[in-house]
Homo-oligomer: A and B are copies of this chain.
Amino acid sequence: MTTKLTTEALLDDLSPAERERAERVESVLPALRDAAVEADRAGEFPLEHVATLSEAGLLGLVVPEEYGGLGGGLRDLVGACFAMGTACPSTALSFFFHNSSASRGLLPLEAADAGLFDSSEEPVVRAFAERLLRRMGEGRWMANFASESAKSAGSAITISTSAERGKDDDGNPGWVLDGVKSFGCATGVADDYLVAAKLPGGDTAEHLAVFMVDRRAPGVGERARWDALGMRASATHGITLDGVFVPEQDALALPGAFVKMMQVSRGSFVGSQIAGTACYLGAAQAVYDFAIGHLTTTTFSDTGAPIGTAPFQQELIGDMTMHLGTARHWLLAQLELETSEPPKLPKQEVVSNWRVAKGTIAEEGFAVARCALKACGTSNTGFSGTVSRMYRDLTMGLVQAFPAERGRLEAASSIVSGRESTQFGGVARPGS
């Protein structure tokens, strides 16, 4: 008989191959759990986790086997993020962003397979994609930097980091990057940084390019020390790029390539954001389990009954149970939408659903922690206690990426007008 894995608390229908990969995830949880409290307090990503995850093969979790990976898919990633989220949400989130990098290899290959590139472009695209996937398959950590600090009224993300043609000291051709990436997990931890920048000559998604930057390359710096309310061990410092040289082969700098990648994505543009949300659900599950344990084993001094039998505790337990269920159901429904074959809904509706799902999962997951905090009392408000730590991590879910209010409004706009919100400046308005 098999033991129930943490992943199976979320996904109760793992295939044998999925279960084998989930066992690898399970094997690293003790290490994550042991380091979590101190990592949170210090606000430092535990560097030893890179080796732990790499050696378990997990850095290649969603990389096809032909490139050295484990061949997992979105379900594996969601399950892994959930399981790691129960132990150390910061590590889970960093791990998620690493895996999201794989889309920059998988989507180009898909677009190539779909014949979206011409014969001169295709080999370039495939070479970059395979190079990226192989690095991940080898067990290298590939951090993913998208957001920048400037906000624009017209689009959700604005890219001002620039790429110019240049050469290295030996005269090899390549690109020179300049700019600042405001937030990104595993800064100073990952082996490589995946960076989006705009090519000369334009300001639309057509001109976006993707680069793999060596963490140790000259000109790469840390933007600002990440010292946040929660997700403190995720090393989300962000980076500065000051004339950083990137060799030709580490760039996907073909105009239009980015747009073609987006055309073949299944859900939202990176196609795996739901796994990021699973980290928060894992945290919510952990805080729920802790609270139920605390409330059923701590007893009143006069009656001996569990303190969880007090009326206000019962109210909070009922609420907490509802919130956890709502978060779970939304996540599982979205996962089904993004993985079912054939697709159940057109991509635009999948994305619109995602916008509502993301915020709802974050809000409801947070609500679990808020109820737990109230139910477990002042003695569980200690900075490093499970309740307080998960509460702080779940707080970040209310803010990061986009708040629930924003997601709902974007979905409403999409429902009324049939237009999907613009993720990148200009993207949604081709020809305008």
Binding site for B on A (CB under 8 A): 12, 43, 149-154, 158, 182-183, 227-230, 232, 292, 295-296, 298, 300-303, 305-319, 321-322, 325-326, 328-330, 332-333, 344, 353, 356-357, 359-360, 370, 373-375, 377-379, 381-384, 388, 391-392, 395-396, 398-400, 402-409, 411-413, 415-417
Contact = CB atoms under 8 A, between A and B. Distances in A.
A398 B326 CA distance: 18
B311 A409 contact: yes
A411 B402 CA distance: 23
A398 B374 contact: yes
Given A312-B403, A312-B406, A325 B353 contact: yes
Given A378-B183, A405-B312, A416 B322 contact: no
Contacts of A405: 312, 315-316, 318, 374
A227 B228 CA distance: 17
A416 B158 contact: no
A235 to B, nearest CB: 14
- Interface residues of A, dominant DSSP: helix
Contact of A228 (B383, B396, B402): B383
Given A152-B301, A309-B417, A329 B333 contact: yes
A407 B415 CA distance: 23
20 contacts: A151-B300, A153-B309, A228-B381, A229-B392, A232-B383, A292-B415, A292-B416, A312-B406, A314-B412, A315-B409, A316-B405, A317-B411, A318-B356, A318-B407, A318-B412, A325-B333, A326-B330, A329-B333, A373-B398, A378-B400
Given A311-B311, A321-B415, A381 B399 contact: yes
Contact of A153 (B303, B375, B411): B303
A317 B388 CA distance: 27
A35 B303 CA distance: 45
A416 B152 CA distance: 17
A409 B314 contact: yes
Q: Which of A298, A315, A379 is the most central at the interface, judged by chain B CB atoms within 10 Å of its CB?
A: A315
A158 B302 CA distance: 10
B325 A356 contact: yes
The 10 closest A-B pairs by CB, nearest first: A318-B408, A329-B329, A317-B412, A312-B406, A374-B403, A318-B412, A153-B300, A314-B412, A308-B416, A150-B301
Contacts of A413: 309, 314
Contacts of A295: 416
Contacts of A402: 312
B302 A153 contact: yes
Nearest to A416: B308
Given A228-B381, A381-B229, A416-B306, A408 B315 contact: yes
Contact of A326 (B230, B303, B329): B329
Given A154-B303, A229-B382, 18 more contacts: A151-B301, A182-B378, A228-B378, A229-B388, A232-B383, A296-B416, A308-B415, A309-B416, A312-B405, A317-B411, A318-B408, A318-B411, A319-B408, A322-B408, A325-B360, A373-B395, A373-B399, A374-B403
A230 B374 CA distance: 14
Given A305-B153, A409-B311, A229 B374 contact: no
A301 B152 CA distance: 5
A229 B400 contact: no
Contacts of A384: 227
Given A153-B300, A301-B152, A311-B311, A317 B374 contact: no
Contacts of A330: 325-326, 329
B227 A301 contact: no
A401 B307 CA distance: 16
Contacts of A183: 378
Nearest to A236: B378
A412 B313 CA distance: 9
A329 B408 CA distance: 17
A312 B154 contact: no
